[in-house]
Amino acid sequence: MKPSFFSALWSNLKSLPQTCRTGLRPGGEKALDPGRRLRRNFVYHLHALKVSERALHPLTTLGLGLITATLFLVLIVTGVLLMIYYVPTPREAYQSMQDIQYAVAFGGFVRALHRWAAHGMVLTVLLHLARVVFTASYRRRELNWIMGIGLGACTLGLAFTGYLLPWDQLSFWAVSVSTAMLDNVPLIGGGLKSLLLGGEIVSAATLLRFYTLHVALLPALLLLLLAFHFWRIRKDGGLVASSAAGEDAETLPAWPHLVLREAVLVLSVLAIVCLVSAWVAAPLGVPPDFHAPGNPEKAPWYFLWVQEVVSYSSVVGGFVFPGLLLLGLLLLPFLERENRDAGRWFGDRRCRRTIVVALAVGVLALVVFEAFFVSAGQTADPLMRDLFNPASGMLVLAVLAFGLGGWLTGSTRSAFLLGFVVMLVAVVGFTVMGLLRGPDWVFYWPWEVWPGGY
Partner 1 sequence: MAIDHSKDAARLRAGLLIMSLALLLVLVLVALRSCRTEWRGHQTAFRVLGAVPEERALGIIQFENCAKEMERCTTCHLGAAREDLAKDEIPLPFRAHPAPLAHHVHKRFGCSVCHGGTPRALESEIAHAAPGTGRIDPLHRQPHIQASCARCHVPGDQPGMERLKKGAELYLSLGCAICHPLTRGGRGGWDFGTDLRALGRKSLAYLEASLVDPTANFPQSTMPSFATTFENHPEALVDLLIYLESLVLERAEARCNRRDRSQGLAGVNCTTCHSGDAGRASGRFEHRCPYILEREEQLNCSRCHPDSVPESGEHRGICPVVREHRKGCNVCHDDLPKVEGS
Residues that bind partner 1 (CB under 8 A): 53, 56, 95, 98-99, 101-103, 105-106, 108-109, 168-169, 250, 252, 256-257, 260-261, 263-264, 267-268, 270-271, 274-275, 277-278, 284-287, 289, 291-292, 451-454
Tell me whether residue 32 or residue 270 sits nearer to partner 1 (CB atom): 270
Instruction: Please state the closest distance from residue 48 (CB atom) to partner 1, in A.
Output: 17
Instruction: Please state the closest distance from residue 336 (CB atom) to partner 1, in A.
Output: 29
Tell me whether residue 170 or residue 213 sits nearer to partner 1 (CB atom): 170
Tell me whether residue 99 or residue 370 sits nearer to partner 1 (CB atom): 99
Instruction: Please state the closest distance from residue 291 (CB atom) to partner 1, in A.
Output: 6
Tell me whether residue 95 or residue 212 sits nearer to partner 1 (CB atom): 95
Tell me whether residue 60 or residue 392 sits nearer to partner 1 (CB atom): 60
Tell me whether residue 246 or residue 410 sits nearer to partner 1 (CB atom): 246
Tell me whether residue 101 or residue 409 sits nearer to partner 1 (CB atom): 101
Instruction: Please state the closest distance from residue 204 (CB atom) to partner 1, in A.
Output: 16
Contact 159, 121 (CB under 8 A): yes
Tell me whether residue 41 or residue 98 sits nearer to partner 1 (CB atom): 98
Instruction: Please state the closest distance from residue 190 (CB atom) to partner 1, in A.
Output: 24
Instruction: Please state the closest distance from residue 438 (CB atom) to partner 1, in A.
Output: 13
Name the burial class of residue 400, with classes exposed (0-12), middle (13-18) and buried (19+) by CB atoms within 10 angstroms of its CB: middle
Secondary structure string (H, E, C) spanning the chain: CCHHHHHHHHHHHHCHHHHHHHHCCHHHCCCCCHHHHHHCCCHHHHCCCEEEHHHHCHHHHCCHHHHHHHHHHHHHHHHHHHHCCCCCCHHHHHHHHHHHHHCCCCHHHHHHHHHHHHHHHHHHHHHHHHHHHHCCCCCCCHHHHHHHHHHHHHHHHHHHHHHHCCCCHHHHHHHHHHHHHHHHCCCCHHHHHHHHHCCCCCCHHHHHHHHHHHHHHHHHHHHHHHHHHHHHHHHCCCCCCCCCCCCCCCEEEHHHHHHHHHHHHHHHHHHHHHHHHHHCCCCCCCCCCCCCCCCCCCCCHHHHHHHHHHCCCHHHHHHHHHHHHHHHHHHHHHHCCCCCCCCCCCCCHHHHHHHHHHHHHHHHHHHHHHHHHHHHCCCCCHHHHHHCCHHHHHHHHHHHHHHHHHHHHCCHHHHHHHHHHHHHHHHHHHHHHHHHECHHHCECCCCCCCCCCC
Tell me whether residue 54 or residue 128 sits nearer to partner 1 (CB atom): 54
Instruction: Please state the closest distance from residue 86 (CB atom) to partner 1, in A.
Output: 14
Instruction: Please state the closest distance from residue 287 (CB atom) to partner 1, in A.
Output: 6
Instruction: Please state the closest distance from residue 259 (CB atom) to partner 1, in A.
Output: 9
